[in-house]
Structure 1
Amino acid sequence: MNDFIANEAYPLIEPGVKLFSSTVDHYSWIRRETTLINTTIGKDVFIGFRCSFENAKVGQAVQIASKVSVGNGHRQTTIEKYAWIGAGVYIDGGITIGEGAIVGAGSAVYEDVPPYSIVVGNPARFLKERKVEKDGAPEFRSFLTSQQKLLKNKQYGDSQLKDGRNQFIDADLNVKGTQIIGENVIMIGKRIYSASGTLITDGGITIGNQAVVGDDSIIEGGGRVTIGDNTVIGKGVHILSTSHDYKKLSLPMVTKPVLIGDNVVIEDQAIIFGGVSIKSGTRIKANSLINKSV
């Protein structure tokens, strides 16, 4: 298991990241439980939780969400600079994702993606050209520095449930009554303030009474996630409340709250996108991608 590297000029490589014959350049951030095999990561790259890379080359200022799988051991896969790869994407070996391209969440890519294009689906198909305001390359150095400072002060990623389970919780939690939180659950999302004290992001996670969050689920509450009473979240579910403004090259973060009602059942491996509301009593089928309110 890797230790954090506590110097803002260096990459931030979290515990649980596995590196095999791989390199990560300065100002990049690799989140927990990601594996890199024979892979090169450029500067200012963000890689989310539980990703896997094999025989891959990732260019400068690429943004990659959680649970993304890239490449195989046979042919090198290349992701060129300024690309954005959504959550739960699969990219086959030997593929090139062109500069500034966007791959929509849940897509499976088996063909090269042209520069500054948007592809979605399984298999991924061209949706439209990305017409982009070139306002500067994506980077998150100031935020990375703040995370490094929290690390030095031992304020980063302490579990707030303290029930002995293998969990990573770095969120402002509001829990009501009692809950069951499974093994290997990841929860992130906090209120973020500017130096002057102005609220920038109203992040956090609210979990209702008698709610269940299944093993291996990821809840990203940067834009706020609310889970109602008696709701059951299955295993490996991914809930996101943040996205990016793809019309700008810099890919600024966009917050989109997720509201899940009471007595909801979300079956295993579903992905719930930001901005979605799920009515009380709704059942979401396994492996669903929910990008509209239901």
Structure 2
Amino acid sequence: MSEECDPPPEPLNAGLYIVATPIGNLGDVTRRAADVLRRCDAIACEDTRVTAKLLRHLGLSKPLWRYDDHAGEKDRARLIDSMRERAVVLVSDAGTPLVSDPGYRLVRDARAAGVPVTSLPGPSAPVMALTLSGLPNDRFLFAGFLPAKDKARHEVLAELAGVRATLVFFETAPRLAKSLAAIGEILPGREVAVARELTKLYEECRTGSASELAEHYEANPPRGEIVLLVGPPEEQAASAEDADTLLREALQTQKASQAAAAVARATGLDRKTLYARALKLK
């Protein structure tokens, strides 16, 4: 008597499939992601060793094609050419592809070439950290990794200082102390959160001031992947003197209408009133 075998999976339509993968706990892979990985023809990934580990967990074996920060136009062209006849999955090492990785170029070129693109939702470290932190989440800005150099790091934080939203960054354990020090200097008084080892055994999300967190992690050196969050600035009513100062600065490089619009965004004051004041100052 012959043994019955499961029928082979039905193939997917040709195209590009963006698949989110677990950020630590392999149990977080979705059923739909597992099904697409089972039915696809090949997988484009950052590190074949990391993706191979996920496939072993799922009991799968697929051709793995390297696609990372070093991939160029020729690599993308070859992938897109394959997608015309094959179902190719794009994954990152962890989380949702295109979030702080070069996958957007592949998606952009695939769309331009008329290749169908499908995206599957799933794990995302920035969103998980935001939900754990307790910081305001009605508006947030994800800004990727902070620069490694001190001067560039300070410039980025100064540029984002006026953004009325929670700021979300990726960070590495060795650079956390310098980033916390810079936040304390450039964004004083803000509530800060450090979320690390998300979905793993030693997951934690610690909140406090930048100096409090710096003191804690100096005594307890962190490990693992880190999401660093900074709360929005406190709402403050701008005085007429403050508005005039801002307008004078803006008028040095902008027209009255542009200066009024910029100061309105920064202060919440009425743009028409600011425009009339800008005309007088000019």
TM-score, normalising length: structure 1: 0.21
Structure whose CA Rg is larger: 2
Select the structure with the greater relative contact order (CA < 8 A; seq sep ≥ 6). 2
User: Whose helix proportion is higher, 1 or 2?
Assistant: 2
Which structure is higher in strand share?
Answer: 1
